[in-house]
Amino acid sequence: MLAREFVLDLDAFEGPFDLLLSLVLRDELELVDIDLVEVVVAFVERLAERDEIDLEDCGEFLVLISSLLELKARGLFPDEADELAELEPEEAAEELARRLAEYRRMKAAAAWLTDRLAAEGDRFFRLGPAPLAPRPERKLAPQAPALLAEALRALAIPPKAVSLRHMELRFPPVSQFLDRFRSVLARRRRFDFDTEVAGLPRVDQAVAFLALLELRKAGEVELEQGAPFAPIRVSRLDLSLEDDAAATAPAAVAAQEGTTWTARSA
């Protein structure tokens, strides 16, 4: 029972080989962290201490270490293990032979690189150009003085003034909407504000709303709104529109009549 009883002293595990197998099978130890080469070396050293070799122990160890190698390979290459499981025995044998040949080729290349490094490791290479190398002559493109002078004259011309007319906001007079609402209330007792100003620009709608507030402040109309942002219903009061406007309209409205406001944004 040498294959199960010999003690290991590894970086990731220390204890009997039998315990290592139990931890790996119960997924309590990552097989990727175990160096199986050290396991084989430890087993060979244990065999060297004995007077004769027990073929039964050697065969058991070969079976166990090959199983561990297979589990470790599947852990390192899970996708390839699934692909190999779907292959037929003949195809699997060909794939294994191909991989062994590729492994030998890579191993030979690694040995060649090692020998090359040992033979030429004391040499240093210059990364920059050689000091005696011919330096290329920098040639300027042909220049046209006339074109250069024309470009300089174009830079000396002051730029055109930027027009800000597209940023102007023109407000219509409040009196325009006062007359309009009074004319509507003269024909009918009530109207909807949203319907009356539909289709007008937003600036005109804002001025129309100011006119509506002026009528409400003067006591000419009564405003009703069922909920926030709901349509505003304007109702005419029983007072005479002309008398009430002359008696209670604020002086600011009279001063604004016939005036056009112009605002310019920054």
pLDDT beyond 60 at 263: no
216, part of any domain: yes
Confidence of residue 213 (pLDDT cuts 50, 70, 90): very high
Ranked by mean pLDDT, which of 17-26, 150-159, 250-259 comes out on top?
A: 150-159
- Examine the fold and report which residue of 21, 48, 76 is the final residue of a domain before the chain moves on: 76
Confidence of residue 81 (pLDDT cuts 50, 70, 90): low
CB 225 within 8 A of CB 219: no
133, part of any domain: no
The number of residues making up the chain comes to 266
CATH for 181: 1.10.10.580
What does the DSSP assignment read for 152-198? HHHHHSPPPPPP-GGGEEEEPPHHHHHHHHHHHHHH-SEEEHHHHTT
pLDDT beyond 80 at 245: no
184, part of any domain: yes
- Count the neighbouring beta carbons within 10 Å of the beta carbon of residue 3: 21
Tell me which of 174 and 168 has the higher pLDDT.
174
Assigned token pair, 34: 């175990």
Task: Name which of 211, 207, 137 is nearest 179 in CA terms.
Answer: 211
243, part of any domain: yes
Single-letter amino acid, residue 71: L
**Residue 239: CB partners within 8 Å, gap ≥ 6?**
219, 220
Domains held by the chain: number: 2
pLDDT at 78: 62
- Examine the fold and report which residue of 58, 76, 94 is the final residue of a domain before the chain moves on: 76
Q: In terms of residue numbers, what domain contains 256?
A: 167-264
Confidence of residue 251 (pLDDT cuts 50, 70, 90): very low
Tell me which of 3 and 95 has the higher pLDDT.
95
For all residues of the chain together, what is the average pLDDT?
Answer: 77
pLDDT beyond 80 at 104: yes
123, part of any domain: no
Task: Name which of 211, 213, 221 is nearest 190 in CA terms.
Answer: 221
Confidence of residue 266 (pLDDT cuts 50, 70, 90): very low
pLDDT at 235: 92
Ranked by mean pLDDT, which of 108-112, 139-143, 250-254 comes out on top?
A: 108-112
pLDDT beyond 60 at 252: no
132, part of any domain: no
61, part of any domain: yes
Assigned token pair, 192: 């909807």
pTM over 0.75: no
pLDDT at 233: 92
CB 231 within 8 A of CB 192: yes
What does the DSSP assignment read for 76-96? H-HHHHHHHHTS-HHHHHHHH
200, part of any domain: yes
- Examine the fold and report which residue of 34, 58, 76 is the final residue of a domain before the chain moves on: 76
